[in-house]
Amino acid sequence: MEIGSTALSAMNRMTLSNAGSSGSSNISSMERELQNTNDKKVKQACSDFEAILIKQMLDSMRKTVEKTSLLGGGMAEDIFEDMIYDEYAKKMSKTGDFGVKDMLYRQLSPNNSDIIIK
């Protein structure tokens, strides 16, 4: 049986609230730590989503290029070409300034509207 992080967090809060005044500072630090963890997950999800959008754009662009038989083609080339475009999309998401992940992050975290993800 798995206990979710929310249940554990609630149990920790109850234990700490029974500990007295020092417990309230521990609750605050635990809540900040939980918020930081959630923040990192949201940032990563936004970055991953941007990479997916870039990959779709690159796939559409790649379909417009006429293939030649110079390199032999075949299924293996198609697979490796798709893999390299996945990596291009991830790299472009990390290094490029498309702005999609920033916009998504601001939308998902309205209290942090001034933050830009780097």
pTM: 0.63
In the prediction, which pLDDT does 56 show? 94
**Dist. CA 29–CA 85, nearest whole Å:** 42
Rounded Cα gap, residues 63 and 87, in angstroms:
18
Give every CB contact of residue 73 below 8 A, 6+ residues apart in sequence.
67
CA nearest 103: which of 94, 112, 92?
112
| Structural domain includes residue 59 | yes
6-38: pLDDT as tens digits: 544 554 554 544 544 455 677 788 777 777 788
Is 118 a domain residue?
Answer: no
Instruction: Flag whether 71 is in a domain.
Output: yes
In a domain, 52, yes or no: yes
> What residues of the chain score a pLDDT lower than 50?
1-2, 7-8, 11, 14, 16-17, 19-21
How far is the C-alpha of 62 from the C-alpha of 84, rounded, in Å? 12
104 lies in which domain range? 5-112
The residue type found at 71 is L
